[in-house]
Amino acid sequence: MTLNIPEMRWAGILLLAGGLIFWIGAFSPPYKHWMTKDVREYLSIIHGHKPNWYFIHGAFTVGVLLTLFGVQLLTHAMTRAGAGVYSQLAFTGFLFGSLFWIMNIAFRLTVTVWAADKLSTSTILEPSFKTWMDWTNLLFAIYMVLAYLAIGAMGLAAKDLDLLPPWVTSTCIWFGFAGAALYFLRFPVFEPPLMVHTPLILLGLVILLTIK
């Protein structure tokens, strides 16, 4: 089977655009709410910068959806070109991971904002909020692991097809599978969600530069 060049190029555009939009959200101020372990301080920062909170998570949502569409196009093109099971596993993993991420975002935009407003008006921290945070942190962890595994599978699919430069496919393979393992070990480099998009931005850029 032949490779669908327009489909590949659109995949590259979406991977690049999705990753950059996600990074814009990640680097939008304020930054301290990502670093503090004090729940009260976390909620107070959110309440004081509510428009920023909505913008950040709007960028996260758009970024991950564009990336998901890019992964779908890329894996579909690779499957039709004969990549086999790896490309299908990559899309399935990223799809389910993205659903968990969007559920996490929905929690942040509703329950977290409600808890921040309540703390601001009554100085009372809702007792159940920490438990709900633990639950959504689990959703976040599932997203991270599935996304890293999907990146590794995409690298294997591209390697089977000899589609992209070997250093790119090797980067995706090692980054993806190492990321999934090291995230469990709480290795700091692999904990921020923006790291998932680093190899995907690279992949999108290389596709646009090499697939003609």
Model confidence over 190-212: pLDDT tens digits? 999 999 999 999 999 999 999 88
Q: Cβ atoms within 10 A of the Cβ of 162, count? A: 9
Q: Looking at the predicted structure, is the pLDDT value of residue 2 above 80? A: no
pLDDT of res. 1: 61
Total domains in the fold of the chain: 1
Structural domain boundaries enclosing 201: 5-210
The secondary structure of residue 145, as a DSSP letter, is H
Nearest in space to 150 (alpha carbons), one of 82, 87, 73, 90:
90
pLDDT in tens, 75-119: 999 999 988 899 999 999 999 999 999 999 999 999 999 999 999
Cα–Cα distance measured from residue 156 to residue 127, given in angstroms and rounded to the nearest whole number: 46
Pair of tokens at residue 20: 């950059």
What's the pLDDT score for residue 83? 85
Cβ-based neighbour number of residue 50 at 10 Å: 12
How far apart CA 72 and CA 100 sit, in angstroms, is: 17
CB atoms within 10 A of CB 161: 17
> Which are the contacts of 183, defined by CB distance < 8 A and separation ≥ 6?
141, 144, 145, 148, 190, 191
pLDDT above 80: residue 178:
yes
- Tabulate helix, strand, coil % of the chain (nearest 5): 85, 0, 15
Pick the range with the lowest mean pLDDT from 25-39, 62-76, 100-114: 25-39
